[in-house]
Amino acid sequence: IAISEVTERRGVPLLTMSFSDQITGRGFENIFQVVAKASVLGKAQFDGTVAIAKGAGQKLERIAIMYEDTAYGTSQATGLRAGAKAAGVEVVMDDAYPLGITDVTPLINKLRASNAQAVFPVSYLNDSLQIIRAMRQQRIEIPAIGGAAGYVIPDFEKGLGEYAEGVLSISPANYDLAPELTERFRKKFGYFMVHEALEHAVCLDVLAQAIGKAKSAKPDDFRKVLHGTRFEGGWCKAMTGGAVQFDKTGLNTLSVPVMVQWRNKELVTVWPDSDAKAKAVWKV
């Protein structure tokens, strides 16, 4: 957010995989967001969960939301609330907590007392580890559906071990949608290609395509191409939608979030059905 203020003043196009709503919500002409924004991720986090629960024979009526209080967490929690309101689902817990939290006991105690059927934590790595570990150690077995970030990186599984199995999360993209591209990353670095790396590769691919189409490196020429082109092929096909196309705000309108689940130390895409590589496991 801070650097985009500078690039906007200088008229320099900036491609990003950050998904705060603020990124493309300020009327800037030089910002391009390759992933869905956080409120869309939040709503998809809820909608995907409802679909998965329904497929397992459960109707969600009560949910809990807990989120860290930065732009990421607050934006995504907004989407979760919107999804719950539209579906007539009661939010029985809705708590923000400070970034860098060191004691999640009050959150877990409140969650236990809430009688929620599922919990939606929107967290970075350290707090995600604390929340899931505390839940499992206290035998709170309701489904946990993370908000990307700390829930979709290898260190989550490494930090939790067996407690990670079955945890769901929304994600802007996932490596199993384009293994012909992403497996090269695993072979080189020894772990699966995290969505941030994938999306940065997409940004670079779009950048290269745009420069080629503009036949110029001038920011004005480059910006016009970014706003008026559908980018296909290469790394762009690794995104949901199979391509990248920006609207007037700079948002990639083709990006659709996916739901992933930890299964045997891998993140498997389980929703929507059109992208799923396996059926989700849901504990009723």
Tell me the percentage of the chain whose pLDDT exceeds 90.
Answer: 88
Q: What is the mean pLDDT of residues 218-231?
A: 93
Strand pairing partners for 58?
none
Contacts of 174 (CB under 8 A, 6+ apart): 152, 195, 258, 260, 267, 269
Query: What strand order describes the sheet that includes 118-122?
Result: 90-97, 62-68, 118-122
Tell me the percentage of the chain whose pLDDT exceeds 70.
Answer: 100
Q: What is the mean pLDDT of residues 200-225?
A: 93
Residues 187 and 78 in one domain: no
Domain boundary among 113, 136, 171: 171
**Dihedral angle over CA of 197, 199, 202, 207, nearest 10:** -100
pTM over 0.85: yes
pLDDT band per the 50, 70, 90 thresholds, residue 216: confident
Number of domains in the chain: 2
Whether 191 is covered by a domain: the verdict is: yes
Please report the pLDDT score of residue 20 as a whole number. Answer: 84
Please report the pLDDT score of residue 217 as a whole number. Answer: 81
Q: Among 60-69, 121-130, 134-143, 216-225, where is mean pLDDT lowest? A: 216-225
Residues 92 and 69 in one domain: yes
Q: Do strands 243-245 and 266-271 pair parallel, antiparallel, or not at all (unpaired)? A: unpaired
Whether 188 is covered by a domain: the verdict is: yes
Please report the pLDDT score of residue 77 as a whole number. Answer: 92
Phi, psi of 192 (to 5 degrees): -65, 160
Residues 82 and 22 in one domain: no
| Residues spanned by the domain of 74 | 39-171
Please report the pLDDT score of residue 42 as a whole number. Answer: 87
Whether 275 is covered by a domain: the verdict is: no
CA distances 115 to 109, 118, 222, Å, are: 11, 9, 53
Separation between Cα atoms, residue 280 and residue 276, nearest integer Å: 9
pLDDT band per the 50, 70, 90 thresholds, residue 209: very high
Phi, psi of 114 (to 5 degrees): -75, -20
Separation between Cα atoms, residue 111 and residue 95, nearest integer Å: 10
**Cα torsion 167, 265, 155, 191: sign:** negative
Separation between Cα atoms, residue 134 and residue 102, nearest integer Å: 12
Residues 163 and 216 in one domain: no
- Nearest 5°: CA angle at 94, between 90 and 100? 155
Residues 97 and 159 in one domain: yes
Residues 86 and 165 in one domain: yes
Please report the pLDDT score of residue 283 as a whole number. Answer: 82
Separation between Cα atoms, residue 8 and residue 29, nearest integer Å: 7
Q: Among 72-76, 140-144, 159-163, 205-209, where is mean pLDDT lowest? A: 72-76
Amino acid letter, residue 181: L
The per-residue pLDDT for range 17-59, each reduced to its tens digit, is 998 888 999 999 999 999 999 889 889 999 999 999 999 999 9
Please report the pLDDT score of residue 223 as a whole number. Answer: 93
Q: pLDDT higher for 76 or 104?
A: 104
Residues 122 and 210 in one domain: no
Domain boundary among 111, 138, 171: 171
The per-residue pLDDT for range 125-163, each reduced to its tens digit, is 999 999 999 999 999 999 999 998 899 999 999 999 999
Residues 7 and 55 in one domain: no
Pick from 20, 76, 15, 74: nearest CA to 43: 76
Please report the pLDDT score of residue 262 as a whole number. Answer: 98
Whether 195 is covered by a domain: the verdict is: yes
Q: With H, G, I as helix, E, B as strand and everything else as coil, classify residue 59.
A: coil
Whether 6 is covered by a domain: the verdict is: yes
Contacts of 70 (CB under 8 A, 6+ apart): 99
Q: What is the mean pLDDT of residues 90-103?
A: 95
Separation between Cα atoms, residue 43 and residue 278, nearest integer Å: 22
Residues 52 and 135 in one domain: yes
Q: Do strands 118-122 and 258-263 pair parallel, antiparallel, or not at all (unpaired)? A: unpaired
Residue 1 clears pLDDT 90, i.e. is over it: no
Residues 147 and 192 in one domain: no
Please report the pLDDT score of residue 168 as a whole number. Answer: 98
Q: What is the mean pLDDT of residues 262-279?
A: 96
End-to-end CA, the chain: 40
Residue 228 clears pLDDT 90, i.e. is over it: no
Q: Among 14-18, 68-72, 210-214, 239-243, where is mean pLDDT lowest? A: 68-72
Whether 211 is covered by a domain: the verdict is: yes
72: domain CATH number is 3.40.50.2300
The per-residue pLDDT for range 162-196, each reduced to its tens digit, is 999 999 999 999 999 999 999 999 999 999 999 99
Domain boundary among 117, 144, 171: 171
Q: With H, G, I as helix, E, B as strand and everything else as coil, classify residue 231.
A: strand
Angle formed by the axes of helices 195-214 and 219-228, nearest 10°: 110
Residues 23 and 69 in one domain: no
Residues 223 and 142 in one domain: no
Whether 66 is covered by a domain: the verdict is: yes
Whether 270 is covered by a domain: the verdict is: no
Mean pLDDT score across all residues of the chain: 95
